[in-house]
């Protein structure tokens, strides 16, 4: 009798529509992400995104969360190990900060970056 194989989701990819895909991919590549310019894939460790270029009819519909929900809203949040090292690496590579490294009330050290389209990625490390 054969055993039933258990399904497993290995990762997910956030999909982002942008006005200029090459510009977005160049930004992430500069920060050390692997980018597939043909398919629009952006990856670094467990963070995966797919970048699609919006058609001219819908380019005004691009709306990062912080534009709607305020300056502390992010579009994607990733848990990391070595938050201070990642922060220093991104700063050295020219990342645009959405907010700087800080410790919040719920015992998380975090920061966020912003890409050329205004999308934000928060990075955090638990202090407990």
- What pLDDT, on the 0 to 100 scale, is given for residue 69? 82
Dihedral sign for Cα 43, 33, 51, 87, please: positive
Q: State the pLDDT confidence band at 1, using cuts at 50, 70 and 90.
A: low
The domain spans of the chain are 14-126
79-127 pLDDT, tens digit each: 999 999 999 999 999 999 999 999 999 899 999 999 998 999 999 999 9
pLDDT for the residue 24: 96
How far, in Å, are 3, 29, 75, 108 from residue 41 at the CA level? Answer: 35, 11, 17, 29
State residue 33's pLDDT score: 97
| Residue-wise pLDDT tens digits, 2-39 | 788 889 888 889 999 999 999 999 999 999 999 999 99
Place of tokens 């380019």: 59
pLDDT band at 70 (very low <50, low <70, confident <90, very high): confident
Phi, psi of 18 (to 5 degrees): -130, 160
* pLDDT score for 49: 95
Selected from 3.10.180.10, 3.90.470.20, 3.40.190.10, 3.40.710.10, the CATH number assigned to the domain covering 14-126 reads: 3.10.180.10
Q: Which two tokens stand for residue 87?
A: 């922060």
Comparison of pLDDT for 65 and 27, the residue scoring more: 27
């Amino acid at each position: 009798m054969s055993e039933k194989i258990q399904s497993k989701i290995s990762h997910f990819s956030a999909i982002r529509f942008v006005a200029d895909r090459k510009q977005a991919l160049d930004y992430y590549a500069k920060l050390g992400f692997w980018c597939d310019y043909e398919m629009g894939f952006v990856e670094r460790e467990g963070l995966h995104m797919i970048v699609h270029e919006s058609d001219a009819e819908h380019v005004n519909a691009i709306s990062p969360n912080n534009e709607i929900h305020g300056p502390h809203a992010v579009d994607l949040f990733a848990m990391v190990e070595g938050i201070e090292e990642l922060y220093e690496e991104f700063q050295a590579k020219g990342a645009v900060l959405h907010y700087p490294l800080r410790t919040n009330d719920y015992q998380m050290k975090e920061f966020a970056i912003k890409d050329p389209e205004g999308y934000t990625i928060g990075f955090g490390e638990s202090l407990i």
